[in-house]
Amino acid sequence: MHEAAHSELHPDTLAVVAGRPAHAPDAPMNVPVHLTSTYVAGGDLEYGRYGNPSWTAFEDVLGALEGGRCVSFSSGMAAISAVLDLVEPGGLVVAPRHSYTGTVAVLEERAGLGRLRVEFVDIADTAAVAAASEGAALVWFETPTNPALEVADIAAISAAAHLHGALVAVDNTFATPLLQRPLALGADLVVHSATKYLSGHSDVLMGAVVTASDERADSILQRRTLAGAVPAPLEAFLALRGMRTLAVRLERAQANAQELVRRLDGHAALEEVRYPGFGAVVSIVVRGGAAPADALVGRTRLWVHATSLGGVESTFERRRRWPAEQPTIPDGLVRLSVGIEQVDDLWRDLAGALDAIA
């Protein structure tokens, strides 16, 4: 489909139709997996580290959904690192105090090496973020945050950061472009762990950066090429196949999450239920801290104790079991990634485990 027609389509439709081969007799419906490291000279690709049609198809879809130009990576961490490479030596990065532990780790490592400076803030406090952005090179944030599920005002933070000349990058992994589009709200770059909701089947490691600026996209592409952080063709194919069903998966998972939040409210085993009102990630704080929370994740049959999220299956974990998790995250916080199973089955399994520890 011609790019000009994309603006006329609903995002749910774009996820299905973008990135397809041209409609012609006997043409395949899908871009095939291009398993090659070498191309015949004289064209645009030249070598396997520079490009692959399987990546391009994935990038076309995610770029259309986010409203920019997409560069895919071998992992979400590779995508995060490429964005941080845009910061000049010694530049200040403003970031949420509650973030994905990998993001915090790479920021602290680079700060310790003197490559950048970092200031952690409460991302839900827009005024505090705006004040911290003075003199910053980059304002980086997630919304909702992982695993605290705080929500940031993308438009207000972006406007304040731009007044101070800072770039704004938003990790949109939890919300996906079907629930929020940060570029349309003023952000300069969007990052995804495509491992999660975009792929959706717990079988891919991949990341992506999207920006509306060709200049920034070229810089990100150069970082990928020089660092060699390229996705494998099969992973790109699987991630694209996952995106074809993103709308229906997310609709079901979000509906399940909202119903579970309703049923969890007031349970005797819980101190708190955190849910931003959208998406399929819920965090619960188990009364009594680490020991009962650990008991909870060991008592279920359907819910799988695992560290990732965004798959069709429901998973959960106590986040403070990881030493790198922020100390301000409660010991008893359990992050739930709600899948697409029948909600009554999920509730029966989870409620039984909660009743046992109450």
Q: Residues with catalytic annotation?
A: 49, 100, 171, 196
Residue 193 · residue 76 · CB < 8 Å: yes
Q: How far apart are CA 138 and CA 94, in angstroms?
A: 6
Can you tell me which residue has the tokens 């989870």?
A: 350
Nearest alpha carbon to residue 176 among 158, 199, 204: 199
Dihedral angle of Cα 119, 123, 129, 133, to the nearest 10 degrees: 50
Phi, psi for residue 282 in degrees, rounded to 5: -125, 140
Nearest alpha carbon to residue 59 among 206, 173, 172, 168: 206
Residue 319 · residue 305 · CB < 8 Å: no
Q: Residue 15 is encoded by which pair of tokens?
A: 């996820």
Q: Residue 324, Cβ neighbours under 10 Å: how many?
A: 12
Q: How far apart are CA 277 and CA 257, in angstroms?
A: 9
Task: Report angle CA 285, 287, 290 to the nearest 5 degrees.
Answer: 75
Cα dist. 62→171, 210, 247, 290 in Å? 14, 8, 13, 39
